[in-house]
Amino acid sequence: MLGLKLATDPRWAALVESNIEEILTDHAWCEQKAATNAITIITLNSEHEDLVTDLLILAQEELEHFQMVHELIKKRGYKLGRERKDSYVNELFKHKVKQGGSRQQGLVSRLLFSAMIEARSCERFKLLSEKIKDPELSKFYHDLMVSEAGHYTTFIGFARKYGEGIDVDKQWQDLLEFEGKLIQNYGKKETIHG
């Protein structure tokens, strides 16, 4: 369904398990950034009432996920560390910006960029839900995988809706190809995208 060109190496899950505190901190900040991204899209495209309505719900869900991860961190006696730089997301964003063009194209690019992050997160959460030995975390990541799949669908749907006259499917395929090469450099750290 997601169309990703390269699956995450299952050994990444074992790496994550070796440092749960680090993955939880990184994950918490990913959720915060996802909420901020949704609000940014709303701010820049407030004329689209349906987009505003749906992305407000999505932003609230992302903040709830941030809170859920933070509660897990506290429950396990960890501390929420400082925000992490996400090189994967930064490289995807640079690729998105290169597409440039009109305001409409900017919206489509931002929505596809957002869909890609949700797709990769969904794929990684699925892997964690299947491979991680901790039953609480396994269920937690399964539930979040389902949510991320919904977010992916929301972003793709709006890109197609507001991409009239733009070959959205071609741009999505191009982004999938780029991400498939990009992700080869990741999966070596105990971070969601690392």
Domain 13-185 has CATH 1.20.1260.10: yes
Q: The whole model's pTM is what?
A: 0.94
**Amino acid letter, 18:** S
In tens, the pLDDT along 89-138 reads 999 998 876 655 789 999 999 999 999 999 999 999 999 999 999 999 99
Q: How confident is the model at residue 22 (pLDDT cuts 50, 70, 90)?
A: very high
- pLDDT at position 6 over 80: yes
Domain ranges of the chain: 13-185
Q: How far apart are CA 93 and CA 96, in angstroms?
A: 5
Which pLDDT belongs to residue 190? 82
Say which residues have a Cβ less than 8 Å from residue 21's Cβ, sequence separation at least 6.
73, 76, 78, 79, 81
Q: Terminus-to-terminus CA distance in the chain, angstroms?
A: 23
CA 108, 112, 115, 116: dihedral to nearest 10 degrees? -170
Q: How confident is the model at residue 35 (pLDDT cuts 50, 70, 90)?
A: very high
Closest CA to 25 of 83, 71, 77: 83
R_g of the chain computed on alpha carbons: 16
Which pLDDT belongs to residue 97? 63
Which pLDDT belongs to residue 98? 63
